Amino acid sequence: MKRILAGTALALALIATGPAMAKPGDPGREKVVAAIKSDHDASIERLRKWIALPTIANMGINHREGAEYMRQLALDAGFQQAKVIATDGVPGVFATLDAGAKDTLAIYFMYDVKHYDPAEWSSPPLEGKIVDRPGEGKALIGRGAVNQKGPETAFLTALRAFRTAGVKLPVNLVFVAEGEEEIASPHFAQVVNQPEVRAALEKAVGIIIPSASQSVDGQVTLLLGAKGAVELQLISSGEKWGRGPNKDIHSSLMANVDSPAWHLIKALNTLVADDGHTPAIDGWFENVKPLTARQKELIAADVAAGNEADEMKVLVIKHWYKDEDYLTASYRLAEQPTVNIQGLVSGYMGPGGKTVLPGRAEAKIDLRLVPDMTKDEAVSKLKSHLAKRGFGDIEVNVSGGYGPNQTDENSPLIKAEQATLADAKIPATLSARSAGSWPGVVFTGPPLHLPAGQFGGGRGGGAHAPDEWLLIDSSNPKVLGFDGQAILYADFLYEVARTAKAKR
């Protein structure tokens, strides 16, 4: 009975906010939609199997296996050729689908996920258990459910439906995937810069990363960019410093021996102002491009359509920085580059105490960058800042990173996204950029200069956290379930072809 009710709710959702009826020039759409719906159970099982094979870049888990699995998923979805691209790190995947169309769309996937602690989850993180989500429907719980294997599976489901239905794709596709997004994509440029890959991407009208981006109210924010990210470790050691111990020693010696841990803390304290928040690295804001009047207008419209209380609830917070109002905090989120401490590691970390003076201390740092900052600039300024203050001995180990990306709201890609959502009667706003990051700059920057965006319907949450989830069957008529997500992608492909044709 519950399954019947869930199916009824999903049907209502598709009527109320689901992808629209076929337009002239959308041949075979009804067959594609039927194929998506009939493939529901098999699609969810494919998602479960993918979740069961996590690629975790920073732990060396399933590098080759994950790449090969991604390659096979692309072939199974209809790509005519797919190959694993070796890099100096985790491999990438490149695939193409020639539909004989006049226009080409590029697709970016990540097949890696964040690590996890099973003890923190309500069900095994690799199981893909379906659970009730009160007020929303049924959700699948698993690492990678929303970030990004769930939305990516929905996109592949749409492609499979075209093939199953015997309907020709309206656009050609170029596909690139990486297994290091979660460690700031240190080698992804090696994939994109392969001559064969670059030549294929040059034909594209733009590139998207699939996402499940509806709010609890059903609204979608289309992002015109994203901050850049740099991941690094700052390491203070007696060995490099030339002071303090080279290994952990008895804590009583703190009276007459220097401490590498305190040395690191003193260095960290110079990176932000007295508020513990605002970056204070010398020259940090030198190349920061302020938000334009139009970008502020877009953010204000997005905030007006949003739900501050729901966002705070999801984040488990009660205040924005300095108790700023929602709009001011949203401007800051888009405009301000950041210096964040992800973690601090030093000495004894077990239960109780051990009375040691550590010989080494490490801070795990991420930097978020906005236009017109660059990765190289940020790292250079950080190193110079530390050296100037007597902390030149502290090692700066950069493990990955890239600059910010930005796309014109009037690009055909963004127009196609807007038109697809409008036809589906899904309310949508534009916003200047995401505070989160993805390596879109390798596409939007030279030499490709492609429009890039995140696109999709449906809903999920818990990325990087325990109990990550994706909505499968939606009881909320404003929000798409899994089938609705896949149908939306099919409609988007039709719309890309239509928009590109009008542009020619």
Kindly indicate the confidence band of residue 315, based on its pLDDT and cuts at 50, 70 and 90: confident
Q: What is the mean pLDDT of residues 449-454?
A: 97
Is residue 15 scored above 60 in pLDDT?
A: no
Distance of CA 453 to the CA centre of its chain: 11
Give the sign of the dihedral formed by CA 428, CA 184, CA 231, CA 283: negative
Kindly indicate the confidence band of residue 427, based on its pLDDT and cuts at 50, 70 and 90: very high
Task: Say whether 155 sits in a helix, a strand or coil.
Answer: helix
Domains and CATH numbers, the chain: 2-227+405-503 (3.40.630.10), 228-288+337-402 (3.30.70.360)
b vs e for 86-103, b when ≥16 Cβ sit within 10 Å of the residue's Cβ?
A: ebebbbbbbbbbebebeb
Backbone torsion region of residue 206, taken as left when φ is above 0, otherwise alpha when ψ lies between -120 and 50, otherwise beta? left
Is residue 21 scored above 70 in pLDDT?
A: no
Backbone torsion region of residue 276, taken as left when φ is above 0, otherwise alpha when ψ lies between -120 and 50, otherwise beta? left
Crossing angle between the packed helical segments 149-165 and 482-503, to the nearest 10 degrees: 70
Is residue 430 scored above 80 in pLDDT?
A: yes
Is residue 441 scored above 90 in pLDDT?
A: yes
Query: Helix, strand, coil shares of the chain as percentages rounded to 5?
Result: 40, 25, 40
Kindly indicate the confidence band of residue 310, based on its pLDDT and cuts at 50, 70 and 90: confident
Mean pLDDT over each residue of the chain, to the nearest integer: 94
Q: How far apart are CA 275 and CA 273, in angstroms?
A: 5
Residue 503's pLDDT is: 83
Which one, of 109, 99, 130, lies nearest residue 28 by Cα? 99
Is residue 470 scored above 90 in pLDDT?
A: yes
Is residue 22 scored above 70 in pLDDT?
A: no
Which one, of 180, 293, 300, lies nearest residue 229 by Cα? 180
Kindly indicate the confidence band of residue 119, based on its pLDDT and cuts at 50, 70 and 90: very high
Taking only the tens place, the pLDDT of each residue in 268-307 is 999 999 999 999 999 999 999 999 999 999 999 999 988 8
Crossing angle between the packed helical segments 412-423 and 482-503, to the nearest 10 degrees: 130
Kindly indicate the confidence band of residue 26, based on its pLDDT and cuts at 50, 70 and 90: confident
Antiparallel, parallel or unpaired: β 92-97 and 469-474: unpaired
| Across 17-26, 255-264, 328-337, least confident range | 17-26
Residue 14's pLDDT is: 39
Residue 3's pLDDT is: 34
Which structure tokens are listed for 463? Answer: 């990325």
H or E element, residue 12: helix 2-16
Residue 36's pLDDT is: 98
Q: How far apart are CA 394 and CA 386, in angstroms?
A: 8
Is residue 403 scored above 50 in pLDDT?
A: yes
**Phi then psi for 151, rounded to 5 degrees?**
-60, -35
HEC states along 45-73?
A: HHHHHHHCCCEEHHHCECHHHHHHHHHHH
Which one, of 256, 204, 118, 214, lies nearest residue 427 by Cα? 214
Task: Say whether 214 sits in a helix, a strand or coil.
Answer: strand
